[in-house]
């Protein structure tokens, strides 16, 4: 198995893409740490589906809180002795149309979204990279978005945060290469998750699906397969890459 004896952290790992990634790494022999923020029930359900039992764990942490993140990385190192792979998946999107929200809401939304989607990942990259430097290297894969390139007029903070995340990954790919730490990202389009369900099943759902010539949204497992590749041994020359997983719905 590709990841036997590897330790893998998945932030936002209790649902959607994170859950599929956790399952994919566990199936390949990894010890998986499923990070979650508030939904402990979902995290426990995800943990129960990972085999073999007893090898994995869940950990509650607000990915936007630097102190909590530092404690989580320290705990993982104390339990497993290393982190081989970090999947940075936790993220939020909040609608804040510029013509409809007041200035306080505008500012509050930007602070919240950037805190989770960009500052949080920067902190996790720092902490996991410092741990990886002591153990000979590792892989970091972030979950970005097609919205980083095409623009998100109803959720501009989300689009900007993902564009920043792409730049962060590429900056860190250069900075960390001498330490044998490889950094990349996936940029999904519409994926069938709990968060996307209300859009996919709503009145505009068919139009969303038809953005792709495949006439459907992607699955979390398809994104997880891309993450698995980027984190695998032998993918080192893809460091700095942003891999589109959008069903040919958007080209750049």
Would you please indicate which residues are annotated as catalytic (active-site) residues? 158
Spatial separation of the C-alpha atoms in residues 161 and 5, rounded to whole Å: 33
Contacts of 51 by beta carbon, 8 Å cutoff, 6+ apart = 26, 27
Cβ–Cβ < 8 Å for 184, 169? yes
Radius of gyration of the chain (CA): 17
Bond prior to 217 in cis (omega within 30° of 0): no
Contacts of 48 by beta carbon, 8 Å cutoff, 6+ apart = none
Spatial separation of the C-alpha atoms in residues 233 and 230, rounded to whole Å: 8
Cβ–Cβ < 8 Å for 146, 244? yes
Q: DSSP assignment of 213-224, as one string?
A: TTSS-B-HHHHH
Cβ–Cβ < 8 Å for 139, 181? yes
Spatial separation of the C-alpha atoms in residues 245 and 248, rounded to whole Å: 8
| Nearest alpha-carbon partner for 128 in 55, 35, 54, 39 | 35
Contacts of 222 by beta carbon, 8 Å cutoff, 6+ apart = 191, 245
């Amino acid at each position: 198995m590709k990841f036997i004896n590897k330790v893998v952290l998945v932030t936002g790992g209790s649902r959607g893409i994170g859950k599929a990634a956790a399952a994919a790494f566990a199936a390949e022999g990894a010890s998986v740490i499923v990070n979650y923020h508030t939904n402990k029930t979902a995290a426990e359900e995800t943990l129960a589906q990972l085999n073999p039992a007893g090898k994995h764990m869940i950990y509650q942490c607000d990915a936007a809180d630097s102190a909590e993140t530092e404690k989580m990385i320290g705990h993982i190192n104390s339990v497993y002795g290393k982190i081989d792979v970090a999947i940075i998946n936790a993220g939020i999107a909040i609608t804040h149309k510029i013509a409809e929200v007041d200035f306080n809401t505008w500012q509050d939304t930007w602070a919240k979204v950037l805190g989770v989607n960009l500052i949080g990942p920067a902190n996790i990259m720092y902490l996991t990279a410092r741990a990886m430097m002591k153990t000979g290297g590792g892989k970091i894969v972030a979950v970005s978005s097609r919205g980083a390139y095409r623009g998100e007029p109803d959720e501009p903070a989300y689009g900007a945060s993902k564009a920043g995340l792409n730049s962060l990954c590429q900056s860190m790919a250069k900075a960390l290469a001498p330490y044998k730490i490889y950094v990349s990202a996936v940029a999904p389009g519409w994926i069938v998750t709990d968060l996307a369900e209300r859009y996919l099943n709503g009145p505009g759902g068919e139009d969303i699906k038809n953005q792709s010539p495949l006439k459907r949204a992607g699955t979390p497992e398809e994104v997880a397969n891309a993450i698995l590749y980027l984190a695998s041994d032998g993918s080192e020359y893809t460091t700095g890459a942003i891999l589109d997983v959008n069903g040919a719905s958007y080209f750049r």
